[in-house]
Structures are given as structure tokens and as C-alpha cells.
Amino acid sequence: MAEAEETIFCKIIRREIFADILYQDDLVTAFRDIRPKAPIHILIVTNLLIPTVNDVTAASEAAVGRFFTVAAKIAKQEGIDENGYRLIINCNHHGGQEVYHLHMHLLGGRPLGPLVS
């Protein structure tokens, strides 16, 4: 992996920029998206700067695994665990990735429709 450039998420993780943080531990941080695409739109990011899914290594597997336990916990807190929600990880330009810092979107609060149209 090439040297990654610091992202806005790095500053949120360090609390240098305000975000509505719902969860933080030594591996991941979760906060509300400032441009929500659904009534509930939360980003779960790795605390370690990993640019894309392609850059995940054995050393970062624990953080990536934590995405899913934190997503389930937050979905329950937000009251969307029963009706359902969507988890999305975008990778690179064609995948729709805008911030090159590995993150997962948790979306819910209404029927989300087809994945790709």
C-alpha cells in the first residue's frame, strides 16, 4: 500500500472536526453522515487509515470485522434492526468511493428499493 493521504475522517476520529459520533473504540468510529441518503445514514470507518478494500491486510482484519458488529449494535440502537437496513462498502472510482478511507455505510429507516438500477 502506498503512503495514504490524511482524510477528513482522520480529523473526525481525532475529534478535530465535529461529527455526531455514535460509537468509537480502538478499531472503528461511527458517526452520522452529513449528507444522508436515507432517514438513517451512518458511516463506520476504520481508525487506521486504510484507503480502499483492496488495501485490507491480515493486520487490518479485526477492524474490518468490527464494522459488522458495530453495524448490528447501531441498527438495534436506531430501531432499524427488525425492519432491515443496508450495508455498503464502495471501492475506488467505479465503485463510487469518494473518500479514500475505508468505511461502510449503514442506511435504513425506510424501504431502500433495488440496489443498482
Confirm whether 103 is a catalytic residue: yes
Q: Tell me which of 93, 94, 103, 105 is the catalytic residue.
A: 103
What are the backbone angles phi and psi of residue 51, rounded to the nearest 5°?
Answer: -60, -45
Do 5 and 100 meet the contact criterion of CB atoms below 8 Å apart?
yes
How far apart, in Å, do the first and last CA atoms of the chain sit?
33
How far is the C-alpha of 28 from the C-alpha of 112, rounded, in Å?
25
Identify the helix (H) or strand (E) that includes residue 43.
strand 40-46
Of all residues in the chain, what percent are helix, strand and coil, respectively (each to 5)?
A: 25, 20, 50
Among all residues, which ones are annotated catalytic?
Answer: 103
